[in-house]
Amino acid sequence: MKNPLSYSSILRLARLMLPLAILALFARGVLAQSEAIPQPTLFGTHVHGDIMAGYYAQSDVYDYLADINIWFDYGSAKGAKLYFYGGILTLIKSTDEESFEPDRYRGTLEPGIRLQRGNSSYEFFIKHQSFHDIDRFDDLDETYEIYGLRYRKAGPWNYTLSAGKYENKDDVDYDWDYYASLDNACIRVCNGKPIYTALSLHGVTEDGSLANRDDFLDYSLEVGLQSSLGIRYFANYRQTHDIDRFNGATDHGIILGVRYAW
Q: Which amino acid is at 62?
A: Y
Q: Which amino acid is at 210?
A: L
Identify whether the C-beta of residue 162 lies closer than 8 Å to the C-beta of residue 178. yes
What CATH superfamily is the domain 7-261? Phospholipase A1 (2.40.230.10)
How far apart are the C-alpha atoms of 198 and 236, rounded to whole Å? Answer: 9
Identify whether the C-beta of residue 129 lies closer than 8 Å to the C-beta of residue 107. yes
Q: How far is CA 34 from CA 31, 39, 215, in A?
A: 5, 7, 47
pTM score over 0.75: yes
Q: How do the pLDDT tens digits run along the chain, 262 residues long?
A: 444 445 555 555 455 555 555 444 544 544 444 443 343 344 467 888 999 999 999 887 788 899 999 999 987 777 789 999 999 999 887 655 555 667 788 999 999 999 989 899 999 999 999 988 776 666 677 899 999 999 999 988 999 999 999 999 998 899 999 999 999 988 666 766 789 999 999 999 998 887 667 899 999 999 999 987 788 999 999 999 887 777 777 888 899 999 998 8
Q: Which amino acid is at 242?
A: D
